[in-house]
Structure 1
């Protein structure tokens, strides 16, 4: 063990004791962080599951509406109707910090506020089924962005949880036990040195007393 390379002095003992206090405090903080990350991660996983189900239902509804629209008009007519969009969507990204993890935040804005601009065609040559299909895609867009945001957040939190878990284990199973062992080693060595010093002092005292006794006898 590394204790054989440690200088068994009181200064080193004091340093190691301070190191141990810091390590144990850091271990507790990291455990608390890991537990809170796990709690928030599980909340995000549940939210992600619900969002995915909602988005899949929305996309299935949109696909069904497009199938109905395709049944009412020709493929060429649908392509012409959707060829030149009137509306434009801009994606905006930012982030928020949760437990030292930068979580992405997605939002979007449209070029115009007119809800009718999602339909890039005139109503004379298209069916209401196509209107429903386009509207259903617009309805599912916010949930799709929220789902992407949540899934990326889950990935980032999972990576942070794993990193924090490794740090907790390193402190718990390596650094703290090694420091405790080093403290025990130095304490044992210092105790041995103190006992040796006391024994030497007692021997010196006995020798001095014996010498004094012999000197007294010699005088007599």
Structure 2
């Protein structure tokens, strides 16, 4: 049964008006949430773009330094030295809430850089290579955090937009149609009751005169 076909009573009219108010409030809140999420996502997209730019710049520096190190020390020797470099530090993924969306925060274990090789065995080109890739690793952690957050926010924006559209295009018009239908029926009934009462009063007066 369509909503606008519900029994036209004052109780259903009040119920429909309350439902309409609730739906309008829900739409308003969803729209505000969508705006906040979009603003947050766009800010993160800018951050991701800047991080990607820094990563590209560091890769350029790292590969140039690595190329020079290979030329001056030999690729086999450089590969042997690379095996002695410490592994990446442990990291923990935490979460924070942005308008109800759980976005990740990557916490990387902070520790001083140390190597198993002596600096007398290398040159500045190799040292620049190592430091550049360490910086790249940090940036990649940050980029992974930001890009994952952007994805989650985008999914929530899509879901929020879908809910808002359902209210705006379906529920709210349906409640308004229902209210209009019940209101018109009740007004017509009131008019009929008024004219019926008027006729009854007229007949009563006529009988009294007789």
Tell me the TM-score normalized by structure 2. 0.91
Q: Which runs of 5+ in 2 are unaligned?
A: none
1:140 Cα shift? 2.2
SS of residue in 2 equivalent to 1:89: coil
SS of residue in 1 equivalent to 2:53: helix
1:4 Cα shift? 4.9
- How many equivalent residue pairs? 210
SS of residue in 2 equivalent to 1:105: strand
Does residue 39 of the first structure (1) align with residue 39 of the second (2)?
Answer: yes
Does residue 139 of the first structure (1) align with residue 128 of the second (2)?
Answer: no
Aligned partner (choices 150, 164, 167) of residue 168 of structure 1: 164
Does residue 152 of the first structure (1) align with residue 175 of the second (2)?
Answer: no
1:3 Cα shift? 4.7
Q: Which runs of 5+ in 1 are unaligned?
A: none
Q: 1 CA distance for matches of 2:68 and 2:96?
A: 42
SS of residue in 2 equivalent to 1:120: coil
Does residue 123 of the first structure (1) align with residue 122 of the second (2)?
Answer: no
Residue pair 1:82, 1:120 contacting (<8 A) in 2 also:
no
Q: Specify whether residues 100 and 3 from structure 1 end up closer, same or farther in structure 2 by C-alpha distance, changes over 3 A only.
A: closer
Q: Using the TM superposition, name which of 137-146 and 7-16 deviates more.
A: 137-146
Residue pair 1:82, 1:121 contacting (<8 A) in 2 also:
no
Q: 1 CA distance for matches of 2:69 and 2:154?
A: 43
Greater RCO between the two (CA within 8 Å, min separation 6)? Answer: 2
Q: Using the TM superposition, name which of 142-151 and 6-15 deviates more.
A: 142-151
Q: 1 CA distance for matches of 2:97 and 2:15?
A: 35
Does residue 9 of the first structure (1) align with residue 5 of the second (2)?
Answer: no
Report the counterpart of residue 177 of structure 1 in structure 2.
173
Does residue 67 of the first structure (1) align with residue 63 of the second (2)?
Answer: no
1:148 Cα shift? 1.0
Does residue 202 of the first structure (1) align with residue 198 of the second (2)?
Answer: yes
Report the counterpart of residue 52 of structure 1 in structure 2.
52
Q: Specify whether residues 172 and 8 from structure 1 end up closer, same or farther in structure 2 by C-alpha distance, changes over 3 A only.
A: same
Report the counterpart of residue 22 of structure 2 in structure 1.
22
1:18 Cα shift? 0.9
Q: 1 CA distance for matches of 2:16 and 2:172?
A: 10
Once the two structures are superposed, residues 24-59 of structure 1 have per-residue CA deviations (whole angstroms, 9 ceiling, x without a partner) of 111111111111111111111111111111111112
Query: Which of 1 and 2 has greater Rg?
Result: 1
Q: 1 CA distance for matches of 2:25 and 2:3?
A: 23
The alignment yields a C-alpha RMSD, in angstroms, of 1.9
Report the counterpart of residue 207 of structure 2 in structure 1.
211
